[in-house]
Structures are given as structure tokens and as C-alpha cells.
A = this chain, B = another copy of it.
Amino acid sequence: MPQTAIATTAIIGRDVQLGDDTRIGEYTVIEDGVRIGGRCEIAHNVVIHAGTVIGDNVRIDAGAVVGKQPMRSRNSATTSEKVVPPARIGEASLIGANSVVYAGCELGRSVLVADLATVREDVTVGDFTIVGRGVAIENHCTVGRYCKLETNVYVTAYTTIEDRVFVAPGVLTSNDNFIGRTEERFKHFKGATIRRGGRIGVGAVLLPGVEIESDAVVAAGAVQTKTAQSDTIYAGVPARPFRDVPEEQKLDNQGWKDIK
């Protein structure tokens, strides 16, 4: 990035506020009313839509699109026709290249949204959480602090993920037991609930409404069809209890401390 603070080709809308020592790359478009903190690095070809609020020390890589309004298909089951409020990105967060962060989401501090990931509207992501490369978080989701959602994880609408949850690459979730049929289904959409310290192995699938209790584990490749009880490992298709979580792997035995 050039040494000048703001590239001459950057387009800065009306009523934009930029903090000290923030750098804006070439051909980046910052729409009206955006607020960006100090010491940020916004790369080239980034688009930041109107009203977005970005904290200090944030890095946004090339080609990222931040604050876009939802698209409403006539045929969508979970997206309604509304204008959502601007996105909010907490301090020291990192936003990857060619990622898409929607208006109506709120990211805590030191969140990493990696390349080509998507975070939709009506979503909150807690501090220090990693949203891996290619991850999609659909609308109406809550993700806690210190989580890791690894590469290409799919978080369906109406999912709740508490703190310190670990979701391995390629895990899928679902929220519709009626597979797109009946009017009845609209009353029952329910994503996964993953309690504090729950862990999901690579390529596992969580069926609609499943709860993963605290410190439970779903093994790699398993299809979880019902509640996974605390401190228990589930495996297989469909998944069944397999063994207890080893003591040394339990969350409270890691010596990890949360930063307040």
C-alpha cells in the first residue's frame, strides 16, 4: 500500500469519519456516513457500504465488501424485505480478501473473518472469534467469544453458538426438517445450538434443532440427529455415544483465560 494515508483514487462519501493514521487503498469506495477508527489498513478495491462503523486497528483486505444490504429473492424462506442497520466491526478485527460482510451484523473486537467468508445480517460474533476462510454464517445467528469456525463451515439461519466452541472444516448444519415443503415448516425452522466448549469434527453434519451440550464432541464425519450430552463423544451415521471426552481435553482443564 502506498505511503500516503488515502490513495488519490479512493472515493470517500459525504460525512465519512476517518481516524488518525488510517490508510485507504486504491480504488476503494467508502460510501456516505461510514466511520472508521484510527490505525486501520483498508486495502485496494474494497467497498464499504453506507453507514458502516469500524473500530480502531482494523485491517480489511483487497476486494472485501462490507455492509451490503440483503438480497431478497421472491422465493426465500428466511429473508424478509427490509433495510437493515449498518454493519459494526469491532477494534483490531481482520476482514479477509473478497469476503462479504452484511449490514445488520455486529462483530466484536479482534474477530477474524477470513478470505471469501460471508457473515449475514442479524448476526453477532463475539470477541476473539475466528470465522474461517469460506465460512458462511447465515442470518439470525449468534456466535460467542473465542470460537473457531474453521474453513468452509456452514452455519445455517437460527443457529446459536456459545463461547469457546470449535467447529472443524466443512461442518454442515441445517434448520428445516421438512426439506423445503409444507407451510408448517415456517413454524419450526431451528438451527443447531452448540453450548460452551462444544466441539464438532471435520465434515460432521448437525440436523435441524440438534443441541450439542457443554464440552460434548461430535466426531469427524458423524451425522448428529439428536442431543449430544455433555462431556461425551458421538460418532457414526447416525451418531451414537462413543466414549467420554478425555479429562485433559475438557475446556476447564486448558488453563485458558478470557480477556474481559
Contact = CB atoms under 8 A, between A and B. Distances in A.
B174 A202 contact: yes
Interface string A161-205: 000001011101110101111101000000000000001011101
A64 B194 CA distance: 34
Contact of A114 (B62, B71, B146, B220): B71
A134 B26 CA distance: 26
User: What number of copies of this chain does the assembly contain?
Assistant: 3
Contacts of A25: 29
Interface stretch (A15-23, A42-50, A81-89): A42-50
Given A47-B63, A73-B94, A172-B203, 17 more contacts: A25-B29, A26-B29, A27-B29, A61-B71, A71-B114, A75-B112, A76-B112, A116-B118, A134-B136, A156-B169, A169-B172, A169-B173, A169-B174, A172-B202, A179-B199, A202-B207, A205-B221
